[in-house]
Amino acid sequence: MAYLFTSESVSEGHPDKVADQISDALIDHFLAFDTDSKVACETLVTTGQVVLAGEVKSKTYLDVQKIARETINKIGYTKGEYMFDGNSCGVVSAIHEQSDDINRGVDRASKEQQGAGDQGMMFGYATNETENFMPLALDLSHRILIELAELRRENKDITYLRPDSKSQVTIEYSDDNIPQRIDAIVVSTQHDDFGDDDTMLAKIRKDIVDILIPRVVAKLPKQIQVLFNDDIKYHINPTGKFVIGGPHGDTGLTGRKIIVDTYGGKGAHGGGAFSGKDPSKVDRSAAYATRHIAKNLVAAGVADEVLVQVSYAIGVVEPMGIFIDTYGTCPFNMTDGEIAEKVSEIFDMRPFAIEERLKLRSPMYSETAAYGHMGRNNEIVTKTFTQPNGEATTLDVELFTWEKLDYVDKVKEVFGL
């Protein structure tokens, strides 16, 4: 019997994502001037206020208030009427030095013997239902909000948009797990107050259905475009009005959108958030490494769908173990346990090895903090960072290294494909 599956996304202006982006902007600035920085930064945003807290061990000094304000302005909170804007909000810092009890488990005389920054389990997932090996419902949810943000910044076809928004896509699957059609799309977007409630809602609904969705569909592969039809149920700003939003409408916290950040409810999640953590925290680095493994396994033809789990003990170098679930989609006669053994031969999952393989000690994290950490484009960008004393550094930074298909040939060789 056919079934429905739903995933959601939130925009860069969502209060939790504002918090994530500030935390990751701090990570990037610390790493830009001291690649050995150990950072765990949490951010809280609310009406007219930003609170920074966390632990840092670094040789560099940053103007954290300036970084927070620049991040907020870049997102689009630049007007006093939003009750939260980068130029006027208060920024309070309660950042202090990292505990020696934690640090002793990570820093070692030999970097190769670096222990895990915490215990826990991390999951990576990949599926061949999309070109970027991501679950389709989540991929479409992200695309809708990315395009909505483009429309907001263009301020031409739609001129009333504000930064906060959410999306949700429901897809009907066949019994053999093949997407059949889009069943429902939800879009809630913050907007200016430009008329009575009924007039605003009618205008917003028409613009979303007639302007936003066609722009999204036009950028999709043909096999995904055909899933859109005239019978889609649209729920546009279902409450009827969304003027009050952002951190004024809802307090935001770092790390509260972990399913949006990963696979939209497909696969599994170990519970650890990513943003605000340097790569010695395996919550982040091992989640990226398991996505890298899963994507390369699917691309190599080991399975149509793969879940990878790895687990660690704090201060211990080697992982507790690697688990693989191919959901019965492996096309050849090999158990998931046997696949896991071969994966262990191919991929070194010690924390420092992950950092080296994925180049995680570069300032690559601001771009991850909105629209998902997985399924993104691997590319090199140039970034400039400035310290309070005016010292600046310009770096070429490779983004989303865990999305590279650089192990496909090695996987095929080991698996005899």
| Residue 241 marked ligand-binding | yes
| Residue 347 marked ligand-binding | no
| CATH class of domain segment(s) 3-8+136-244 | alpha beta
| Residue 242 marked ligand-binding | yes
Confidence of residue 110 (pLDDT cuts 50, 70, 90): low
Q: What is the mean pLDDT of residues 120-142?
A: 97
pTM for the full predicted model: 0.95
Distance of CA 20 to CAs 30, 97, 252, 408, Å?
A: 16, 20, 9, 32
Share of the chain above pLDDT 70, in %: 96
- Could you give the CA distance from residue 17 to residue 10 in angstroms, rounded to a whole number? 8
CA nearest neighbour of 365 among 72, 11, 24, 21: 24
Distance of CA 375 to CAs 55, 189, 354, Å?
A: 30, 24, 19
| Residue 257 marked ligand-binding | yes
| Residue 42 marked ligand-binding | yes
**Which residues on neighbouring strands pair with residue 97, listed in sequence order?**
56
Query: Fold identical between 3-8+136-244 and 120-127+279-415?
Result: yes
| CATH class of domain segment(s) 120-127+279-415 | alpha beta
| Residue 256 marked ligand-binding | yes
Position 116 scores a pLDDT of 81
Largest CA-CA distance found in the chain, in angstroms, rounded: 67
- Could you give the CA distance from residue 140 to residue 228 in angstroms, rounded to a whole number? 11
| Residue 133 marked ligand-binding | no
| Residue 383 marked ligand-binding | no
| Residue 269 marked ligand-binding | no
- Could you give the CA distance from residue 243 to residue 238 in angstroms, rounded to a whole number? 13
- State pLDDT tens for residues 291-318: 999 999 999 999 999 999 999 998 888 8
| Residue 164 marked ligand-binding | yes
- State pLDDT tens for residues 210-267: 999 999 999 999 999 999 999 999 999 999 999 999 999 999 999 999 999 999 999 9
Distance of CA 137 to CAs 37, 152, 206, 207, Å?
A: 36, 23, 22, 22
Average pLDDT, the chain: 95
| Residue 250 marked ligand-binding | yes
- State pLDDT tens for residues 36-72: 999 999 999 999 999 999 999 999 999 999 999 999 9
Ramachandran angles phi, psi of 319, nearest 5°? -65, 155
| Residue 38 marked ligand-binding | no
| Residue 400 marked ligand-binding | no
The residues spanned by each domain of the chain are 3-8+136-244, 120-127+279-415
Q: What is the mean pLDDT of residues 264-280?
A: 96
Position 1 scores a pLDDT of 73
- Could you give the CA distance from residue 385 to residue 37 in angstroms, rounded to a whole number? 15
| Residue 14 marked ligand-binding | yes
Residue 107 has pLDDT above 70, yes or no: no
Position 387 scores a pLDDT of 93
